[in-house]
Amino acid sequence: MSQTAQITAPAGRLDGKTICVSAAGQGIGRAITERLIRDGANVHASDIDAGFLEGLDTKTATQVDATDPEAVETWLGGVSRIDGMVHAVGFVHQGTIEDCTLEDWRKTQSISFDSAFYVLKSAIPRMKQNGGSVILIASVASSIRGYPKRAAYGASKGGVIGLMKACAADYLADGIRVNAICPGVVETPSLQVRIAEMVTELGSEAAARQWFLDRQPSGRFAKPEEIAGTCAWLASPDASFVTGQTINVDGGITI
């Protein structure tokens, strides 16, 4: 697969929908935000770094630390109606369990797992009256598949998937759909950090990049826009009968 497929969708399929997106400033979160806006949604964006939110044409752009439950509640409490919630926060600890200190473990779980709990606990009660779509960005490196040097991260994203499935069951009768997108390796600023972390071990940036590329049967990394297209579909009425699912957008990893 040498070329990226062009993703198209009916214009305006999210017209009138109000969707909140966390970690909206960079990478997958930013691509999702831009795609939702293009499809007609009113987006309330947040990120831990306010500078990353610059240039986004959102209804609001708020600096929020998603590991702080009070900050999450203040952010979502300021949105009068929520039709969709996309939680894209995550942190990748690189290393085996022997490499993972207690501080590393707690940081990873706080950012990648606990934050999902805070966001769902705040957003879901506000969605019960009208229903809607919750989308959590998890990972193929989770309960779906084990990867080298992903002990803490895999545990955190596996937890996200378990939380997703439980909430999907609990709130089905309220018209709230809850799903998770599990990307493969995506070309993002986060990936560049992980590549840099591998240079010392592998000897060069090219070798480190190839180490990640070898995980992709497709022979390339995903573009953030490819994850965003799936997210926009899950947020739309086109996915009205889809809940409790892990959608693998992984370029063939899980074939």
Are the C-beta atoms of 85 and 33 separated by less than 8 Å? no
In DSSP notation, 167-190 reads HHHHTGGGTEEEEEEEE-SB-SHH
- Using CA atoms, how far residue 148 sits from 96, 178, 180, 202, in Å, is 7, 29, 22, 14
CA angle (150, 151, 152) in 5-degree steps: 100
Kindly give, in sequence order, each residue whose CB lies less than 8 Å from that of residue 54, ignoring residues fewer than 6 positions away. Answer: 61
Q: Tell me the Cα Rg of the chain.
A: 17
CA gap 234, 187 in Å, rounded: 22
153 flagged as catalytic: yes
CA atoms within 13 A on the CB side of 185: 21
Q: Output the tens digit of pLDDT for each of the chain's 255 residues.
A: 344 445 555 668 999 999 999 999 999 999 999 999 999 999 999 999 999 999 999 999 999 999 999 999 999 999 999 999 999 999 999 999 999 999 999 999 999 999 999 999 999 999 999 999 999 999 999 999 999 999 999 999 999 999 999 999 999 999 999 999 999 999 999 999 999 989 999 999 999 999 999 989 999 999 999 999 999 999 999 999 999 999 999 999 999
